[in-house]
Structure 1
Amino acid sequence: MPTSADIRLYLCRFSQWQSVPQAQLLAALADEERCRCQGFSNPTRQRSYALSRYLLRQRLASRLDRQPSQLRIVQGVHGRPELAEGNLHFNLSHSGDWLAIAVGPHPLGVDVEADRPPRQPLAIARRFFAQAEYAYLASLPADTLAAAFWDLWCLKEAVLKAHGGGLQAGLDRFVVQGQPPRLLENHLDTQEYRLANWRLDGLHLALASQGATALPALTPQRLTP
């Protein structure tokens, strides 16, 4: 049986999966997921939800030696989806045409953002980030500010998703260092978090995992039909 003792990180583009029939995607989902999918009025939203859950279930099933449709995904603390049985954790993120999936043995969070000019990054950082993070961004040359902002944003989102509280837990309750990525201060909880991030294909991608064990040297795996 495949082990759950390591972290896997996957990336895919929704547009590359257009040839896969919707019926095939829905067949791998649970009844409540199919109902939720059909409740979306926007066909694009239906497709992205079905494909996200299909790919997630495929990845989980391959690790647990189960059929994708047999897995029970429930609402956990703070409404975060989690497996009803077993000790395997997961998290998803999407931005535009991209989907990121993280799977591992500890609570984790992943965030992906398309590399685009942020709107008023310093104003956002001043209002929502920790003071040390704002000061760091404010010290940067204008031509490096956008990329550094997205690096920090993704890392902070990943930490909050690993924590489980989401943005409501407070972006200013911890301090992240971008390079190398690490958590300098943590007023969210008493957990240890390990961080990693990447810039690739016009994307910013970040991963956070609870636990004292250092993250392995991960390379995001591309999922194609």
Structure 2
Amino acid sequence: MEAAWSWWPIPDTQRRVLVARYPNLPTRVEQRALSDSLTCRLFADAGHVVGLDDIGRTIYGKPQVRAHQLHHSISNTRSLSIGVVGPDPIGIDVEALDRPLRVASELLTQRLFASASEATVCLQHWTLIQAWTAKEAVLKAAGLGLGGGLANVIIAPNGAAAWLHGASYALSLWTQEGFSIAVAECIRG
């Protein structure tokens, strides 16, 4: 199955994300091959040749480029895969805006936020799916994944920054073509 490739701009920045879309829901094998191809294309766009032999996997299955200074992150939902590369630890997440929540929204709110007041403030600006997307992008940038605890991530009301365990992250959160997309990059300092 052949993917359609495109670049989506990250709003209010000069950066962009690489998007691959399959015409149908890919198999696990097709998804893995697409993730590897996406990784190679991301690095090539940044001026670095990365071959399939340079890509390893973490214990969680995340593509990892061996011995490289650039950081990258990939996310998949349905037939869409999206990726980003940068000089600092970076995370990306994408979710379909119409994704059905298979858990009661009250329970999800309890797991997503550290307090009721944080939930109230955040949900005045974002939907649960958007908050999830932003928080997961930060956890990926931190190298923790969901095991780092969604409730540990605090999002600024304007969606431009987030914090996790004392570290700061620049955050871009937007919707495009029926998807919520978030990119989080660690702010060194």
Same fold (TM over 0.5): yes
C-alpha distance in structure 2 between counterparts of 1:10 and 1:77, whole Å: 24
In the alignment of these two chains, the number of paired residues is 173
Gaps of at least 5 residues in structure 1 are: 1-5, 19-42, 214-225
8 Å CA contact 1:125, 1:133 repeated in 2: no
- Verify: 1:90 aligned to 2:90, yes or no: no
**More strand per residue:** 2
Give the structure 2 partner of residue 148 of structure 1.
127
C-alpha distance in structure 2 between counterparts of 1:64 and 1:199, whole Å: 28
SS in 2 for 1:15: coil
8 Å CA contact 2:18, 2:38 repeated in 1: no
Give the structure 2 partner of residue 113 of structure 1.
95
CA shift, 1:79, in A, is 7.0
- Cα separation, partners in 2 of 1:75 and 1:13, compared to 1, 3 Å: closer
Give the structure 2 partner of residue 127 of structure 1.
111
SS in 1 for 2:158: coil
C-alpha distance in structure 1 between counterparts of 2:74 and 2:134, whole Å: 14
For residues 185-224 of structure 1, the aligned pairs below 5 Å read: 185-187=163-165, 190-212=166-188
**More helix per residue:** 1
Highest relative contact order (Cα 8 Å, sep 6+), 1 or 2? 1
8 Å CA contact 2:111, 2:150 repeated in 1: no
Gaps of at least 5 residues in structure 2 are: 1-13
- Verify: 1:103 aligned to 2:64, yes or no: no
Q: TM-score w.r.t. structure 2 length?
A: 0.77
8 Å CA contact 2:55, 2:65 repeated in 1: yes
- Aligned-residue CA RMSD in angstroms? 2.9
8 Å CA contact 1:8, 1:103 repeated in 2: no
Q: Give the number of the structure whose alpha-carbon radius of gyration is greater.
A: 1
SS in 1 for 2:175: strand
8 Å CA contact 2:36, 2:55 repeated in 1: no
Q: Which amino acid aligns with 1:206?
A: A
